[in-house]
Amino acid sequence: MKLLFRQRFFSWFDSYDIYDEAGNTLFVVKGRPAWGHCLEIYDRFDQHIGTIKEEILAFLPRFDIFITGNYIGQIRKAISFFRPRYQVDFNGWRVEGDLFGWEYGVFYGNEPIMHASKQVLNLTDTYVIDVEKEENMLYSLMVVLAIDAATCANP
């Protein structure tokens, strides 16, 4: 399943719309005022389903992940040379990316979970997310949101 992740052009805080292949809105992400990034995810029925909150007193970007108010884990940027690396401490996932963070995959062992590609010739951040299994859609979106926020915080 492919998702199109597009940042809204006119917004004071990070706001994104996430569409399926047919152009239907699946999720809306609304940034809210906070120290560091705080992104709230809503489904197409405007029900709050998740939150990504940056820890501001960390050496490298670090994001706590919540689903319906329950803490499920963390995504953090790791020290690395040449290629960005992120550690995901839920689901046993690992992230591997290219030099600029514009294209990366998420894996469970050797099994691909999703692949994200940033479209660079757009005015706002735009990604295509290819998710292997529908049940991983929300988690995959949260990984992409956290990596995008980490890239904005520490380019």
> What Rg do the C-alpha atoms of the chain give, in angstroms?
14
- Which tops the pLDDT comparison, 61 or 6? 61
- Write down the pLDDT at residue 140: 93
- Per-residue pLDDT for 9 more than 60? no
Whether the per-residue pLDDT at 14 is higher than 80: the answer is no
Question: Does the pLDDT value for residue 5 go beyond 50?
Answer: yes
Query: What integer best gives the mean pLDDT of the chain?
Result: 84
Contact 79, 69 (CB under 8 A): no
pLDDT at 137 over 60: yes
Helix or strand (DSSP H, E) at 18: strand 15-19
Question: Which pLDDT does position 122 carry in this prediction?
Answer: 58
